[in-house]
Amino acid sequence: LVSRMRAFGTTIFAEMSALAVRTGSINLGQGFPDTDGPAAMLDRAVEAIAAGANQYPPGPGVPDLRHAVSEHRSAHYGLDYDPDGEVLVTVGATEAIAASVLALCEAGDEVIAFEPYYDSYAASIALSGARLVAVTLRPADGRFTFDPDELRAAVTPRTRAILVNSPHNPTGTVFTRAELAVIAELCQERDLIAITDEVYEHLTFDGVEHIPLATFPGMRERTVMISSAGKTFSVTGWKTGWVCAPPPLVGAVQTVKQFLTFTASAPWQLAVTYGLRHELDWVAALRSGLQDKRDRLMEGLTSAGFEVFRPSGTYFVQTDIRPLGFTDGLELTRKLPALAGVVAIPTQVFYDHPERGAHFVRFAFCKKDEVIDEAVARLKRLP
Ligand code: PMP
Ligand code: GLN
């Protein structure tokens, strides 16, 4: 393995899901739903295969999907992207993030990301030879947020880009207009590119709305906006994502993307096109169902003795394990199958400063009610 990848072993998601299978534990670790996406959309994928959509689609993506993505951005956010030249279909958001970093960051450049961060950011940045500079999100008034001065101080003459994930995995924070304004201002002052990971754009709660950074004045031209179908339509295995950005940015990303995967799978693209055009009511129901599940898991974890942070978005509840007498989340999550028959994710692995997140553990609530209830019942028996 090349030296720049040696720090990256097996992802925590693979480790913990394997642990769940091996021990027969309830898996509240890796974030994937245990129910399917909209039936009519699933049918469209089957029909697409039967109808012969089985050869390479165009590199930038099936034109119909690019149109559907463009219409969706316009209807939801008032952002207009030309389906021919400003939209690129990728193999999930993961490829979009990797291709964006590889296309836009030189070796030696610095890329800012908020820690705890989604694990692929550090690996993609390392592959590019750039350097991740982490700005820490800390709990304040029950939600994780950043200190604007700390963010400003993290920018140096080498800073090329900032990776912004909102709704944020793993903390559940949805950045407010004021927080995003700080980021937008800084991007313009210091001429930074924003790479935004918006895969949970539709999964927000309590009436909180996701605001894309690209909607801020002066930001569309410097933002690479990324999302995917996995979370919106409960099809994480379909790995269908997209990038929206002005031609110079999307063109750069496409140049890299064509040599990573050339193109993304055809049948899913056709089905997701249908989803974006016809299944947004289904998504609204998913969102309100998830809000109930969030409340259910929060209540359960609280009664099991965890300190719980209320997420405004995503699939995840962040907890502090210290009230239970534990201090190290990695140690606890590795023991949790034996102690309680439950798997969770140690948040510290998403930090450059692991000590800042040592006592946090993430639980996923995108699960059937009975699965959540059984996990809570088991956790209540923790010694
Ligand atoms: N970004 C974040 C914040 C995620 O949680 C995930 C996992 N779904 C991804 C990106 C990857 O998305 P995809 O499965 O579309 O590659
Ligand atoms: N996004 C999901 C999570 O955070 C799964 C990611 C993965 O398995 N790579 O749990």
94: CA distance to ligand 1 center in Å? 6
pLDDT range class, residue 193, cuts 50, 70, 90: very high
CATH 3.40.640.10 residue spans of the chain = 39-278
Is the shortest distance between the CB of 27 and ligand 2 below 6 Å?
no
Is the shortest distance between the CB of 96 and ligand 1 below 6 Å?
no
367: CA distance to ligand 2 center in Å? 14
How many angstroms separate the CA atoms of 352 and 7, rounded?
Answer: 12
Coil/strand/helix, residue 316: strand
pLDDT, one tens digit per residue, over 293-349 is 999 999 999 999 999 999 999 999 999 999 999 999 999 999 999 999 999 999 999
pLDDT, one tens digit per residue, over 123-165 is 999 999 999 999 999 999 999 999 999 999 999 999 999 999 9
How many angstroms separate the CA atoms of 296 and 3, rounded?
Answer: 44
pLDDT, one tens digit per residue, over 49-108 is 999 999 999 999 999 999 999 999 999 999 999 999 999 999 999 999 999 999 999 999
| pLDDT average, residue stretch 228-252 | 98
Is the shortest distance between the CB of 77 and ligand 2 below 6 Å?
no
Q: Which atom of ligand 2 is nearest to the CA of 199?
A: 1
User: Which is nearest to 331 in space by CA: 320, 346, 341, 317?
Assistant: 346
Coil/strand/helix, residue 263: coil
Q: Which CATH number fits domain 39-278: 3.40.640.10, 1.10.10.10, 3.90.1150.10, 3.30.390.50?
A: 3.40.640.10
Helices 369-379 and 280-303 sit at what angle, rounded to 10 degrees?
20
Backbone angles phi, psi at 242, to 5 degrees: -155, 155
How many angstroms separate the CA atoms of 145 and 12, rounded?
Answer: 24
User: Which is nearest to 102 in space by CA: 158, 58, 161?
Assistant: 161
In this prediction, does ipTM exceed 0.85?
yes
User: What is residue 78's predicted lDDT score, i.e. its pLDDT?
Assistant: 98
| pLDDT average, residue stretch 222-243 | 98
User: What is residue 74's predicted lDDT score, i.e. its pLDDT?
Assistant: 98
User: What is residue 214's predicted lDDT score, i.e. its pLDDT?
Assistant: 98
pTM for the predicted model, two decimal places: 0.98
Is the shortest distance between the CB of 13 and ligand 2 below 6 Å?
yes
Round the average pLDDT of the chain to a whole number and report it.
97
pLDDT, one tens digit per residue, over 172-188 is 999 999 999 999 999 99
CATH 3.90.1150.10 residue spans of the chain = 3-37+281-379
Is the shortest distance between the CB of 169 and ligand 2 below 6 Å?
yes
Question: For the purposes of burial, counting CB atoms within 10 Å of the CB of 52, is it exposed (0-12), middle (13-18) or buried (19 or more)?
Answer: exposed
Share of the chain above pLDDT 70, in %: 100
Examine the pLDDT at 383 and tell me if it is beyond 90: no
Note whether 366 and 32 are within 8 A (CB): yes
Q: Which CATH number fits domain 3-37+281-379: 3.90.1150.10, 3.40.30.10, 3.10.129.10, 3.30.70.100?
A: 3.90.1150.10
| pLDDT average, residue stretch 230-235 | 98
Share of the chain above pLDDT 90, in %: 99
95: CA distance to ligand 1 center in Å? 9
pLDDT, one tens digit per residue, over 202-212 is 999 999 999 99
How many angstroms separate the CA atoms of 98 and 103, rounded?
Answer: 8
Q: Which atom of ligand 1 is nearest to the CA of 91?
A: 16
Is the shortest distance between the CB of 94 and ligand 1 below 6 Å?
yes
